[in-house]
Structure formats: structure tokens, C-alpha cells
Chains A and B, each alone.
Chain A
Amino acid sequence: MTAPPASGGFGAGFRAMMPLWVGVVPFGAVYAVTARAAGLGLVDTQLMSLLVFAGGSQFAAVGMIAAGAGPWTLVSTTLLINLRHLMYGVVVAATTELRGARRALAAHLLTDEAFGVHVAQGRGRPAFLIGAGLSLFVVWNAATFAGAVLSRSLPDPTAIGLDLVFPLAFLALLAPLVRDPRTLAVACVGGLSAWGLGTVVEPGIAILLGAALAAGMGAALPPGKALPSGKRVAS
């Protein structure tokens, strides 16, 4: 992994996340609607988006609260679902110099989406990562607030097809990284194993296990000849 120049990029990172807002806004709002329906107050609903800031585990937590789960179940499930973020941190730290307050802030903002756009477009630029993360944080929290306040009049984004934004965004980030038979094999194994595991375990855990299996297998393979491939992706 080669690191481009470390300076600048906050605005570029912020803008790189904008295409994903179309999917983030309805899901942030729906999270809030679900949370209110599960009995959470306005403050707790917003606090989860502000402090946990991890959509998948927030949805899981709200579902478990509605089902009467206890605090330890909620915390341990959150930990399991978000364990994949450990891999993100290691990958980011290998290419991007993060120290002190920047590292502390980046740790809070390191979501699936921020990791994705950073790897695709902002490697080596800590400000890009923080801009991308903050872009998502602001929109997710604004959508949470709007959803919590207007909880009765919002449509379900899955029912209108907007749930497809996220897989399409990750495919768009994946496409330029598939450069040789090895990366193609890793993508296929990662996708198929996460899909298969997702039928038996929590999606966050399926992603963690599927990705670890695929990367572990790929690391043992030779790269082979390069496929006709692209440059770094731009927003």
C-alpha cells in the first residue's frame, strides 16, 4: 500500500461521502423511528447515534431492547458486531499517520463507509478520513433527530428500495480494487461466505468472519497476472 501526500483533504473527504447521504438519511431516520417505537426517549435515541455511531449495532440494540434484552447482552452484541472495525483501524494505521487528538477523533468516526471512501480515495491523508467520517456523523445524527421528532410520518426506506444504496456503494468501492486473480478470488470468497454466514449469525459477525476468511485465504495465494483494471476511484 503506497501512501499519497499526508496534507489536506478534509473537504475532499467530506464531499466523498455525499453520494452515500441518499441512503444514510432515510436509515438514520428509520433507526430513530424504530428506537422510539421500542420505548427509547428522544435523548437516549440521539445519544446512541452521537456516542455509538454504528448503524448496524444501533439497529440490533433497538431490536434487542424491544425484545427485553439485558445490558450485558446489548454490550456484548455491540462488541461482536463492531469487531470488524478493529481490522479497519489496522489497515488505516498502516497507511495514514494519525496521532493524538486526530487519532482519538478518527477512532470515533471510523465506520464502514468512512473506511471505504478513505481506502478508495484518501489513503495517507488523515484529514480526508476525518472529513469523510464527520460528513457521515453530521448527516446520521441530523437524520436521527428528524426521525425521532417526525417518527410517525416517515416511509420505510427498504419498502421504497433505498436500502440498495449501501451494497451498491460498497461494490463501487470494491470494483477498482479487484486487480488480479487473487483479489478477484478474495472478493468472491468474502461476498459468498458473508452472504452464507448471514443466514445463521448476526450480519455484523458474518461480515467479520467472511472478510477474515477471504483475506486469510487470499494472503496465502500468489497474486497472478494483473487484470485490466482501473485507477483510484473519485467521488
Chain B
Amino acid sequence: MTPLTWTILAMAGVTYGVRLWGLVLPGTRLRGYGRRFLDLVPVAVFAALAAGGLEGTGTVDNAWRLAAAAVTVIVVARTHALAPGLLLGLALYLAARALGWA
């Protein structure tokens, strides 16, 4: 094995360790502030993950990306389904790019 292969194994080890550590921590026994914190983690994480990727390459591109995001949120709120909202939002943005608007 090369030194790089050993490094990849170490990277895999720390990633797996972090994931497993979370799964074995006694989160179910948390009460009060700790429990509320855990309940809000998905909201906070999804918002953080979305915000980081929404920024585009300029003002016009950003406007179309925000429009696509608005379409996705509206469609998901109305249909309670992930795929239509995701695909419609993406289709709007790709269409704007294809037409040279974004």
C-alpha cells in the first residue's frame, strides 16, 4: 500500500468514527435545552447546507437561483413532495441558463 492509501484509510477512520460516535451517544435521554437543541438540528443543518450552495456567479445568476429556490419551496409547501419541487426549481434555472438569462 502507498502512503496515500494509508492516508485515505485514516480519513475513512475519522469519518466513520464521527458518524458512529453520534449514533452511540445517548441522545434519547436528553431533556430540556439539550433535547430542544437536537430537535432543531435538522432545521439548522438544512438551512446551512442550502445557503452555502445557493450563491451563484453574479447578481443575475443569483436572482435566478433565488427564483428557483422560491419555486421549490412553494411547490413543496403545496404538494408535500420533494421531487416535483426540486425538479421544477431546477428546470426553471436550467431554462433561464439555456435562454442566456442567467
Report which A residues bind B (CB closer than 8 A).
1, 16, 18-20, 22, 40, 43-44, 47-48, 51-54, 57, 61, 65, 71, 74-75, 78-79, 82-94, 98, 103-104, 106-108, 110, 112, 115-117, 119-120, 160-178, 182-183, 186-195, 198, 203, 206-207, 210-216, 218-220, 229-235
**Is A215 touching B46 in the complex (CB atoms < 8 A)?**
no
**Is B49 touching A88 in the complex (CB atoms < 8 A)?**
no
Q: With the chains together, A103 CA to B21 CA distance in Å?
A: 11
Apart from A71-B3, A167-B65, A176-B80, list 10 A-B contacts with CB within 8 A: A53-B15, A54-B15, A78-B14, A92-B22, A93-B23, A98-B23, A176-B77, A187-B43, A194-B47, A211-B48
Given contacts A74-B7, A234-B82, contact A88 B44 (CB under 8 A): no
**Is B47 touching A75 in the complex (CB atoms < 8 A)?**
no
Q: With the chains together, A194 CA to B50 CA distance in Å?
A: 9
* CB-contact partner of B40 in A90, A104, A186, under 8 A: A186
**Is A164 touching B27 in the complex (CB atoms < 8 A)?**
no
* CB-contact partner of B76 in A1, A74, A87, A175, under 8 A: A175
Given contacts A51-B9, A93-B28, contact A165 B46 (CB under 8 A): no
* CB-contact partner of B37 in A40, A88, A210, A219, under 8 A: A219
Given contacts A187-B47, A234-B81, contact A195 B37 (CB under 8 A): no
Band of interface residues on B: 35 or more
Q: Which of B2-43 contact A (CB under 8 A)?
A: 2-12, 14-16, 18-28, 30, 33-34, 36-43
**Is A234 touching B80 in the complex (CB atoms < 8 A)?**
yes
Given contacts A87-B22, A172-B76, contact A74 B11 (CB under 8 A): yes
**Max chain A C-beta neighbours (<10 A), residue from B52, B76, B89:** B52
18 contacts between A and B (CB under 8 A): A48-B8, A51-B8, A75-B10, A86-B19, A90-B38, A107-B16, A161-B93, A171-B50, A173-B46, A174-B43, A174-B50, A186-B47, A188-B47, A198-B52, A210-B51, A211-B41, A215-B43, A219-B34
7 smallest beta-carbon distances between A and B, as pairs = A89-B22, A194-B48, A167-B53, A191-B51, A51-B12, A190-B47, A190-B44
Given contacts A44-B8, A173-B46, contact A52 B82 (CB under 8 A): no
Q: With the chains together, A108 CA to B14 CA distance in Å?
A: 11
**Is B30 touching A212 in the complex (CB atoms < 8 A)?**
no
Q: How far is the CB of B99 from chain A (nearest CB, A)?
A: 12
**Max chain A C-beta neighbours (<10 A), residue from B6, B21, B40, B97:** B40
**Is A71 touching B6 in the complex (CB atoms < 8 A)?**
yes
* CB-contact partner of B21 in A86, A169, A176, A191, under 8 A: A86
